[in-house]
C-alpha cells in the first residue's frame, strides 16, 4: 500500500507542475492574437496567485476535514477543468475567469502534498517528488512549443495539456481508498488535529524570515518561467517557437536540479544543497546580461533551472525540523502563501518594469531577487542556530 501511494504522489506532483509553466510559454502568442499590451499577463498571474494564497492559508482546515487524498483529488480535477476553460477561451476576460479555479486548485494540492511528504518521507523523496514537478513544468511548454511550431493556435496546446491533467486527476480519484487506509494508520499532524493557523505561525520570528526566502525563491522561479520567453524574443531575437524550447530547457534544468539534489541528499544536508543551488543560480543572470552570443541564453536558462531546483524542496522538507512537527502544517500553509505572494507580485511587477524601461531589464531584476533570497537565508540559519533548531551536522 505504501509503495502504491508513493507512486500516486509522484504522479500527482507531475500534475502539480503541468499548469504552472504553460501560461508564460503561450503568452507571446496570446497577447499578439488579442492585441494586448505585454504587461496584461500580470492580470492573469495575479488572479492565479490570489487563488493559491487563499487556498494555502485555509489548507489546514480543509486537510483536517477531508484528508490529504480528497483535497489532492478535488484540486487536481479543478486545475484540469480550468485548463479546459483556457483552451476554449475566446477573449482575455475568459482567461481571467478560468485563472481563479486554476489558482485555487493549485494552492490546495501544493500545501497538502508538501506537508504530507515533509512529515512522512525522507529528504530524498521530497527532492525526487519536486523533480517530478519539474517533469510537469517541462512537459507543458514542450507541448505548447509543438503546437506553435506546427502552426496551431495556443488553444491547441492548452487542450493537449488538459488531457494529461485529466488523466492524472482520474488516477488520484481512483487511489482514494489508499489514502483513506493511510490516514487511518498514520495520519499527518493536520489530519490528526488542528495545531493552529496563520496567526500562530506569524508570531514566530524565524517563520517571518523564512517567508522572505520562500517569497524571493519562488519569485525568481516564476519570473524566469513567465518572462524568459518574452525576453528571448524581444532582446535576443528568438522566434516564439525557439523561445518556447529555450524555456523548456529551463524547466528541464529545474527537474534535473531536483533529481541531483535527491541523489546527493544522502551525502549532503539540506542546507548545503540549498547553498549550492543559490550559488549556481548566480551565473544565470550574469550570462543573460552580458553581450554574449544569443545561443548562450540556452546555457543561462539551464543554469537558472539547475540552481533553482534544490532550493524550494529542501526548504520545504526542513519545515518540521525548523519549527517543530506539531507546528509544521500551520507554518507550511504560510510558507506556501508567502511563495504565492512572490509569484503573484514579482512577475507582474517585472511586466510593469518591462513596459517602462524594456524587457532588457530582466537579468538585473533576477539579480536583485537573488540578493534578497541569499541574505534572508543567511539570517534564517543564524536565527535557527541561536534557538538550536539546526542539528550539529547542519551547523
Mean pLDDT of 66-95: 91
- Domain residue spans in the chain? 2-382
**pLDDT value for 152:** 64
Q: Is the pLDDT confidence value at 291 over 90?
A: no
Q: What is the mean pLDDT of residues 155-182?
A: 90
376 and 213 Cβ atoms separated by less than 8 Å: yes
Output the pLDDT for position 10: 87
Who wins on pLDDT, 143 or 223?
223
More confident position, 155 or 183: 155
Q: How confident is the model at residue 5, as a pLDDT?
A: 86
pLDDT at position 282: 93
Alpha-carbon distances, residue 13 vs 30, 130, 196, 274, 275 (angstroms): 27, 7, 26, 21, 24
Please tell me the predicted confidence (pLDDT) of residue 248. 79
Q: Which CATH number fits domain 2-382: 1.10.300.10, 3.40.190.170, 1.20.1250.20, 3.40.190.10?
A: 1.20.1250.20
One-character DSSP codes across 96-109: HHHHHHHHHHHHHH
pLDDT at 370: 95
Q: Write down the pLDDT at residue 140.
A: 80
So what's the pLDDT on residue 149? 75
pLDDT higher than threshold 60 for residue 197: yes
Mean pLDDT for the chain?
84
Cell of 298: 540556452
Q: Averaged over 52-74, what is the pLDDT? A: 82
- Give the confidence band of 392 by pLDDT, cuts at 50, 70, 90: very low
Would you say residue 395 has pLDDT above 60? no
Q: Which of 19-33, 163-177, 367-381 has the lowest mean pLDDT?
A: 19-33
Give the pLDDT confidence score for residue 80 in this predicted structure.
93
Lowest mean pLDDT segment, chosen from 65-69, 254-258, 286-290, 329-333: 329-333
Distances (CA, A) of 42 to 86, 102, 348, 351: 16, 15, 4, 7
Predicted confidence at residue 189, as pLDDT, reads: 57
Calpha distance 155→74 (Å, rounded): 24
Closest to 145 measured CA to CA, from 160, 166, 134, 127: 160
pLDDT mean over 325-344: 80
State pLDDT tens for residues 174-190.
Answer: 999 988 887 777 666 55
Q: Beta strands of 207-353 (E only): which ranges? A: none
| Structural element, H or E, at residue 299 | helix 296-308
Percentage of residues in the chain with pLDDT exceeding 70? 93
Tell me what the mean pLDDT of segment 321-345 comes to. 80
Burial class from Cβ neighbours inside 10 Å (0-12, 13-18, 19+) for residue 175 reads: buried
Residue matched to cell numbers 496584461: 40
Task: State the pTM of this model.
Answer: 0.74
Q: Residue 195 carries which DSSP code?
A: -
Q: Of 85, 92, 353, 47, nearest to 227 (Cα)?
A: 353
268: alpha, beta or left? (left if phi > 0; alpha if psi -120 to 50):
beta
Amino acid at each position: 500500500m505504501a509503495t502504491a501511494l508513493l507512486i500516486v504522489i509522484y504522479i500527482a506532483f507531475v500534475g502539480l507542475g503541468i499548469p504552472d509553466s504553460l501560461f508564460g510559454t503561450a503568452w507571446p502568442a496570446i497577447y499578439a492574437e488579442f492585441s494586448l499590451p505585454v504587461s496584461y499577463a500580470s492580470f492573469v498571474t495575479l488572479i492565479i496567485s490570489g487563488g493559491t494564497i487563499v487556498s494555502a492559508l485555509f489548507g489546514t482546515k480543509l486537510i483536517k476535514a477531508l484528508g490529504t487524498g480528497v483535497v489532492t483529488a478535488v484540486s487536481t480535477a479543478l486545475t484540469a477543468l480550468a485548463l479546459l476553460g483556457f483552451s476554449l477561451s475566446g477573449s482575455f476576460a475568459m482567461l481571467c475567469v478560468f485563472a481563479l479555479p486554476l489558482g485555487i486548485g493549485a494552492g490546495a494540492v501544493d500545501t497538502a502534498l508538501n506537508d504530507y511528504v515533509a512529515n512522512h518521507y525522507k529528504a530524498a523523496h521530497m527532492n525526487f517528488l519536486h523533480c517530478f514537478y519539474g517533469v510537469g513544468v517541462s512537459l507543458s511548454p514542450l507541448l505548447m512549443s509543438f503546437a506553435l511550431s506546427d502552426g496551431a493556435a495556443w488553444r491547441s496546446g492548452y487542450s493537449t495539456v488538459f488531457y494529461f491533467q485529466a488523466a492524472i486527476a482520474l488516477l488520484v480519484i481512483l487511489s482514494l481508498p489508499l489514502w483513506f487506509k493511510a490516514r487511518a494508520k498514520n495520519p499527518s499532524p493536520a489530519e490528526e488535529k488542528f495545531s493552529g493557523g496563520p496567526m500562530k505561525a506569524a508570531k514566530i520570528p524565524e517563520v517571518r524570515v523564512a517567508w522572505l526566502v520562500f517569497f524571493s525563491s519562488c519569485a525568481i522561479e516564476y519570473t524566469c518561467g513567465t518572462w524568459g520567453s518574452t525576453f528571448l524574443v524581444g532582446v535576443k531575437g528568438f522566434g516564439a517557437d525557439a523561445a518556447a524550447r529555450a524555456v523548456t530547457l529551463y524547466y528541464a534544468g529545474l527537474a534535473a536540479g531536483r533529481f541531483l539534489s535527491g541523489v546527493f541528499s544522502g551525502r549532503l544536508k539540506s542546507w548545503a544543497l540549498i547553498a549550492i543551488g543559490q550559488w549556481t543560480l548566480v551565473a544565470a543572470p550574469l550570462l543573460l546580461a552580458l553581450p554574449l552570443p544569443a545561443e548562450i541564453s540556452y546555457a543561462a536558462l539551464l543554469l537558472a533551472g539547475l540552481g533553482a531546483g534544490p532550493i524550494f524542496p529542501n526548504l520545504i522538507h526542513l519545515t518540521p525540523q525548523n519549527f517543530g512537527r506539531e507546528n509544521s502544517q500551520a507554518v507550511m500553509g504560510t510558507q506556501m502563501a508567502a511563495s504565492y505572494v512572490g509569484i503573484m507580485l514579482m512577475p507582474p511587477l517585472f511586466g510593469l518594469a518591462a513596459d517602462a524601461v524594456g524587457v532588457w531589464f530582466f537579468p538585473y531584476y533576477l539579480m536583485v531577487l537573488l540578493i534578497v533570497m541569499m541574505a534572508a537565508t543567511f539570517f534564517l540559519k543564524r536565527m535557527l542556530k541561536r534557538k538550536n533548531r539546526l542539528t550539529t551536522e547542519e551547523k
